[in-house]
Amino acid sequence: MPQDTPGSRVRSATGMAAFWPLLLCCFVVLTGGCAGKNGRTADVPDDKASIRFVLPDGSLAGERDMLALVGEVDYILLGEVHDNPVDHKAQAAFIDLAVRKGGVRPLLGLEMLPRRYYDFSLAAFGKGQISLDDLPEALNWKNTWGYDFALYQPVFETARKYGLQIYGLNLPEAVRRSVSRKGLAGLSAVEKKELPARIIPPQAAQMEKLLAVFRMHGGMKRERPGVPAAASLSGAEEGRRRVLPVAERAAPEGTSTPYRHDLPEKGGAGIASAAVQGLDRFILIQSLWDSTMAEQAVTIRRTLRRRQQKQSSRIRPLPMIILAGAGHVEHGYGIASRIKALEPGARIALGVPFSGERPEPGAADIYYYSEARSHNPLGFIFAGSDGGMLIVRVVPGSRAEAAGMRAGDKIIWADEIPVRSSSDLHKAAMQAKRQKRPLRFILERGGATLQVHMPAPESRV
């Protein structure tokens, strides 16, 4: 199945979680009697979330569809919005199905924990030596990750149920902060030992999204107040061209690469020198984050494979399920592209959450959805469309109706972010909410473009 989907074809040739704030690594189905297109509906435990798994064409996934992912790939990346409980329940349900019906005991890799630091505690938890109640303290969860541990409890319960091996994949938080403040050259010798052997830069296809996120956090301002966001980003092309050719020169596998760009004294149109340097640092942190997780995942599987070969060369290495923010997963831009650089023959499948009427084409091999997730607080239901998101229904009395949005409008930009997925909408909405101001949209209607302003939730209409 992975070889037959648009997303997997891209990955074989070669990412809602919100990204974390600037320079700190910015960071993002109904059960029942319906049948998937390949067998009966996946056997997902029924709960209030009413979780469904969906294929790229929008049809429900059957058990055979989901188990094919487990049986045919080496890595399965399952994205999430960190504070959305539906996503974690879906991840747990997928893992449960993989073990119960797939006959495998996958390895479990987590973005949420630094590599190696809690291996002992994770192993002890898997063996029943640490209780679920005591696990947050044993993992220093509050300071290491910070999101409510209860959100992740379904995942850990499932891993404990089957005695799965769990691994942290990420950098220590202190090292990430040091890189954001000082860059690689300013790290101590101890901190440098935590870096991956290769810091693999992003693919060119990811740069537009990274530029948009960087801009959202204040890295690039519009040159003139009246110029639409799209025009302003077009003016950044020269600065982008200066960065990309250097970024794409990755060192040979196995070598240590200091990640730097030959920064110009002055950036392209609309980008000041400081902004170009800030963009360079931002790309560095994004690349460091994804490269670390990919390298750790590949290293773990290779180590276990060597152990298996001592016993029998016929044993297939266990697949690894990686849980990470959707921004690290969608389209294979983040972790997957780095895994492919380190292990070119790796077979990878992607799963991400979605809201709206249809999943975003090419973003993943499987999607998870719930009725609760589809209730857009902005007041419209949308579907993926070429060059934007199509509004298919506007809820009467909603903020969207107050803004003048209509069914059939295509959302091109939201708060200076090009909208290609639900995660883009989420980022824009959160930005406007934090600043307590209306959410700005650029729409396409009947061949013309127009701007609308959605009132903030506190505003009276």
- Encode pLDDT of 157-192 as tens digits: 999 999 999 999 999 989 988 988 888 888 999 999
Beta carbons of 413 and 229 less than 8 angstroms apart: yes
Beta carbons of 84 and 374 less than 8 angstroms apart: no
CA 157-306-351 angle, 5° bins: 40
Beta carbons of 395 and 446 less than 8 angstroms apart: no
pLDDT tens, position by position, 203-261:
877 777 777 667 655 544 433 333 233 222 222 222 322 232 222 223 333 333 333 33
Tell which residue, 168, 170, 166, 16, has the closest CA to residue 84. Answer: 16
pLDDT tens, position by position, 337-358:
999 999 999 999 999 998 766 7
**pLDDT, greater one: 414 or 235:** 414
**Rounded distance between C-alpha atoms, residue 317 and residue 178, angstroms:** 36
Q: Is the pLDDT of residue 266 over 50?
A: no
**pLDDT, greater one: 455 or 365:** 365
Whole-number Cα distances in Å, 208 to 211, 326, 386: 5, 17, 16
Beta carbons of 376 and 64 less than 8 angstroms apart: no
Question: In CATH, which of 3.40.50.11550, 3.40.50.300, 3.50.50.60, 3.90.1150.10 is domain 1-375?
Answer: 3.40.50.11550
**Rounded distance between C-alpha atoms, residue 284 and residue 279, angstroms:** 8
CATH H superfamily, domain 376-454: PDZ domain (2.30.42.10)
What interhelical angle do 273-311 and 237-247 show, nearest 10?
30
Tell which residue, 51, 147, 54, has the closest CA to residue 90. Answer: 51
Whole-number Cα distances in Å, 397 to 156, 243, 309, 408: 41, 46, 64, 18
Tell which residue, 87, 59, 97, 19, has the closest CA to residue 353. Answer: 87
pLDDT tens, position by position, 4-55:
333 443 343 333 333 222 333 333 322 222 333 333 334 444 444 478 899 9
**CB-neighbour burial class of residue 446 (10 A; exposed 0-12, middle 13-18, buried 19+):** exposed
pLDDT tens, position by position, 97-153:
999 988 888 999 999 999 989 999 999 998 899 999 999 999 999 999 988 999 999
For residue 166, the SS3 value is strand
Domain boundaries, the chain: 1-375, 376-454
Helices (H), 312-370: 335-342
**Rounded distance between C-alpha atoms, residue 74 and residue 78, angstroms:** 13
